[in-house]
Amino acid sequence: MKQLHKQMSSKRDEETIPTSQSSPYSPKALKHPRSLPRSLHYLFREQRLLFILVGILIGSTFFILQPSLSRLGAAESTSLITRSVSSNVVDTYSPSRMSFNYGGGKTGRVPVGIGRRRLRIVVTGGAGFVGSHLVDKLIGRGDEVIVIDNFFTGRKENLVHLFSNPRFELIRHDVVEPILLEVDQIYHLACPASPVHYKYNPTNVMGTLNMLGLAKRVGARFLLTSTSEVYGDPLEHPQKETYWGNVNPIGERSCYDEGKRTAETLAMDYHRGAGVEVRIARIFNTYGPRMCLDDGRVVSNFVAQTIRKQPMTVYGDGKQTRSFQYVSDLVEGLVALMENDHVGPFNLGNPGEFTMLELAEVCFTFASSFFLSHKSEFQFDSVYMPNLHQDLKCSFELRMGSS
């Protein structure tokens, strides 16, 4: 029995010992060796949803960061353009070669591909003589213009050709009352300049104060149109902008002169105290289309008397000299001053001068009959328009009348 048991055990051992030459039909031959670790194999087989979520996260992160990278690249190119523009601007406004070209929506030299930003501009007194020509200029270069006028001396006929323009807006309003608007620039021209009108309207002080308040609230640049009358009856010829004048504070015309001086004072106080960007222009005799024939000034008086075939009135001996500028030259100067970095004040006018007799002779060329009526004294105790500072172009190269 023991021998039989040993034989059975030996056979059982032989069956369990693996052989080196396995049969091709053995079940172990069908199992392929694992090429990945057990943990990765588990993830790929059992956690497919997790991998899908990770892929979505990576894709979302890329699409979120891609616009930022694009803006970063654009910023680098923009900085190069900005440096180029800055160099052009510095060159354009260098003291030795100032040049301005504001027609057709251009301001100086603009690099190709960079358009001028459209401005929203208020022109007070825009229905008047000078104001209406300024509005035409600003509309012509592509800006949006809001005209504020109470039609005290302005006329709708001066602006009727702009009523259908979508960039033009007309508001009937007196600037002695505040108004709220969102604008980039303010041209403050609202003020009757004729002796017939300015005694009855406090625009010089209250209107200027309200417009300066508007400029302060909205951060707009403010241009004040002052007058050469701030020099009064000058003792210095020609008058520089630093000349303080020889004034009579109680004369018949003093309300206009003192009102303009007060307006200049307010403008400079707002500039120094509140940081308002201001520009001050002292305007000399101006003539041209749309001027009022009955405003009491010498050019309009001569023209009106010539048209009506009346004797032209010359006060004194007629040898007093005045400077006369065409309205389009003045408009160019106002726009150039607004776009410049200088505060002022600046004299704006024609450096050439005429005597009153020479002006009368010019009117004679358009009249069939001509005769003069001399009066020994002036109507007022101060000369209406003092001589223009001869160094105008040296103090501020606006390239006006003689350009």
- Residues carrying an active site annotation: 256
Separation between Cα atoms, residue 265 and residue 278, nearest integer Å: 11
Q: Among 143, 145, 147, which Cα is nearest to 125's?
A: 147
Separation between Cα atoms, residue 4 and residue 226, nearest integer Å: 138
- Per the CB < 8 A criterion, the answer to whether 230 and 385 are in contact is no
Which tokens sit at 393? Answer: 């172009």
For residues 270-289, one letter each, b for 16 or more C-beta atoms within 10 angstroms of the residue's C-beta and e for the rest, the string is: bbeeeebbbbbbbbbbbbbe
Separation between Cα atoms, residue 350 and residue 36, nearest integer Å: 94
For residues 312-327, one letter each, b for 16 or more C-beta atoms within 10 angstroms of the residue's C-beta and e for the rest, the string is: bbbbeeeebbbbbbbb
Which tokens sit at 349? Answer: 């006018």
What 3-state DSSP class applies to 69? helix
